[in-house]
Amino acid sequence: MIVEILLDATVRAGTPILFATLGAIINERAGIINLGIEGLMLIGALAGFTAAHLSGSLAVGVLAAFTAALMAGAIHGFITVQLRGNQIVSGLALTMFGIGITALFGRSMVGIRLDGFTRLAIPGLSELPIVGKAFFNQDPLIYLSFLLTVLIWVFFYRSRWGLALRSVGENPAAADTCGISVSLYRFCAVAVGSGIVGIGGAYLSLAYTPLWMENMSAGRGWIAVALVIFASWSSGRAMLGAYLFGGLTALQLRFQAMGTEISAHILQMLPYVFTIVVLVISTIRLEKGASQQPAGLGEAYDREDRK
């Protein structure tokens, strides 16, 4: 019983991180670093909550979250792709922009609660022991995260558009020589990937805790940035990694509920301490050449510089 509860809590806590990581993977597979994940999650969370509150439709809220984050990500795409600006600086500015604008426009939403997404049980599968409730008796956004994980893998490795996108991230000059529009693929990857990150924010405000509070992403965007490297830019590994972090969050809450003598501050630090450990391990793997990092990641491309 306890294992089922913890596994269920793990999936729910890991889902917003999974959405954010999937979106970041799409960005980086195209060669663009996006450190604005935290800000995009907040923008998606507020846009989704506001739209759902005003329209009375959770589906409209999710669509609004995707659109708002996509538009914010498009700004990052324009700066880094069209203007060939510094990707690190632009991403950090996007995070600060997201934190500031959601704090400003979210004031009127503080204290409002919504009837969030409810669970939809899959007949038969939801009755399976241990894994039934965690994976087959969840809300629609969790099922969407399962579907996106598979679709992104299929897109990258079973479609010519995915191959073109990966080639843009690996060797943009070669891709350009083959007639692939580097700017178009990179811009679309940044925009769509940012929209998926926004859905992760919407999950926080419409399903996980259906209310709005300032800075409710609580650093999950930064965890997603680290998780992309840990997952070696693979959507399947991203799911495992997101649930690993979700499990730490679930254990933290479980320990607090049990009245443990361990300080609550130490328990709250666990996911972020683990993030540092993940970065150290990932850096070692990068130095040993064991990672699948896109060769052109972080490099601006200008056709005029092509040799």
Q: Does residue 307 belong to any structural domain of this protein?
A: no
- Give me the pLDDT at residue 86, please: 95
State the average pLDDT over residues 254-267. 70
Quickly state the pLDDT bin for 302 (edges 50, 70, 90).
Answer: confident
Q: Does residue 85 belong to any structural domain of this protein?
A: yes
Q: Are 11 and 245 in contact (CB under 8 A)?
A: no
Query: Would you say residue 304 has pLDDT above 80?
Result: no
- Please give the Cα distance from 207 to 226 (Å, whole number): 24
State both tokens at 256.
């607090």
Amino acid at 53: H
Q: Which H/E stretch holds residue 236?
A: helix 235-257
Domain that residue 52 falls in: 2-302
Quickly state the pLDDT bin for 291 (edges 50, 70, 90).
Answer: low
Query: Would you say residue 257 has pLDDT above 70?
Result: no
From residue 235, alpha-carbon distances to 20, 145, 208, 238 in Å are 11, 11, 22, 5
- Give me the pLDDT at residue 278, please: 78
Q: Does residue 184 belong to any structural domain of this protein?
A: yes
Q: Is the dihedral of CA 284, 285, 289, 291 positive or negative?
A: negative
- Please give the Cα distance from 203 to 49 (Å, whole number): 10
- Give me the pLDDT at residue 243, please: 94
**Cα Rg of the chain (Å, integer):** 19
Q: Does residue 27 belong to any structural domain of this protein?
A: yes
**Looking only at Cα atoms, what is the longest distance across the chain?**
64
State the average pLDDT over residues 133-144. 94
- Give me the pLDDT at residue 293, please: 86
- Give me the pLDDT at residue 267, please: 73
Q: Does residue 172 belong to any structural domain of this protein?
A: yes
Q: Are 26 and 153 in contact (CB under 8 A)?
A: no
| Neighbouring C-beta atoms of residue 213, cutoff 10 Å | 15
Beta-sheet pairing, 137-138 with 120-121: antiparallel
- Give me the pLDDT at residue 259, please: 66
State the average pLDDT over residues 71-100. 96
Positions of E strands within the chain: 120-121, 137-138
Helix (H, G, I), strand (E, B) or coil at 120: strand
Indicate the angle between helix axes 235-257 and 2-29, nearest 10 degrees: 140
- Give me the pLDDT at residue 263, please: 72
- Give me the pLDDT at residue 303, please: 78
Q: Does residue 230 belong to any structural domain of this protein?
A: yes
Phi-psi region of 179 (alpha: psi -120 to 50; beta: other; left: phi over 0): left
Query: Would you say residue 21 has pLDDT above 80?
Result: yes
- Give me the pLDDT at residue 144, please: 97
Query: Would you say residue 306 has pLDDT above 70?
Result: no
Q: Does residue 195 belong to any structural domain of this protein?
A: yes
Rounded mean pLDDT of the chain?
A: 91
Query: Would you say residue 307 has pLDDT above 60?
Result: no
- Give me the pLDDT at residue 11, please: 95
State the average pLDDT over residues 108-132. 90
Q: Does residue 149 belong to any structural domain of this protein?
A: yes
Strand partners, 138: 120
For the chain, the domain total comes to 1
Q: Is the dihedral of CA 28, 31, 32, 33 positive or negative?
A: positive
Query: Would you say residue 89 has pLDDT above 70?
Result: yes
Helix (H, G, I), strand (E, B) or coil at 149: helix
State both tokens at 244.
């690993």
Specify the pTM: 0.94
Q: How distant is the alpha carbon of residue 218 from its chain centre?
A: 13
CATH number at residue 115: 1.10.3470
Question: Rounded to 10 degrees, what is the CA torsion of 302, 303, 305, 307?
Answer: 140
State the average pLDDT over residues 112-137. 91
Query: Would you say residue 171 has pLDDT above 80?
Result: yes
